[in-house]
């Protein structure tokens, strides 16, 4: 199936592996909230039903702090639907404190460590220009 949209995650390259996985999971959960992104339940041959997943591939990219800011600024400018993860969220224990931590910082001062975006393929590709796939 071809998609006119693309989902991508940019992760700060110097994070610990557990942090990269955490940031990816949390930011992608935001993308999952977009209408039409989640498919139907899965069912195996024995009749066991499993939760649905996102219907299209997700590309994961590695980025430095400046590249994350570039993606963020592009996403804002082009009104993408996106989620962010900032350094402070590694220290918060729950969703309410996560939102408070983000609210406490002006957008230009956010210490971004991850961003997940969904938008038209051409625009997402432009937002990610210069980034390499995470390896």
- All domains in the chain, ordered by first residue: 5-133 (3.40.1490.10)
In contact, 7 and 57? CB cutoff 8 Å: yes
Q: Which two tokens stand for residue 64?
A: 């430095």
pLDDT for 20-46, tens place per residue?
999 999 999 999 999 999 999 999 999
pLDDT given at position 116: 98
| Beta strands per DSSP E along the chain | 5-12, 42-43, 49-50, 58-63, 81-86, 112-120, 132-133
Mean pLDDT along residues 47-57: 97
| pTM of the shown model | 0.94
Whole-number Å distance between alpha carbons of 95 and 132: 30
pLDDT given at position 11: 98
**Residues above pLDDT 70, as percent of the chain:** 100
pLDDT band at 47 (very low <50, low <70, confident <90, very high): very high
């Amino acid at each position: 199936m071809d998609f006119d949209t693309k989902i991508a995650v940019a992760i700060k390259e110097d994070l610990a592996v557990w942090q990269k996985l955490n940031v990816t999971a949390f930011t992608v959960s935001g993308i999952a909230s977009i209408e039409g992104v989640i498919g139907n339940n899965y069912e195996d041959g024995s009749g066991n039903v499993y939760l649905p997943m996102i219907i299209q591939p997700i590309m994961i990219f590695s980025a430095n702090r400046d590249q994350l800011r570039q993606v963020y600024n592009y996403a804002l400018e082009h009104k993408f639907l996106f989620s962010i993860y900032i350094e402070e969220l590694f220290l918060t224990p729950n969703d309410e404190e996560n939102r408070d931590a983000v609210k406490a910082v002006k957008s230009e001062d956010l210490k971004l460590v991850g961003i997940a975006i969904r938008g038209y393929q051409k625009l997402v590709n432009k937002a990610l220009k210069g980034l390499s796939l995470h390896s």
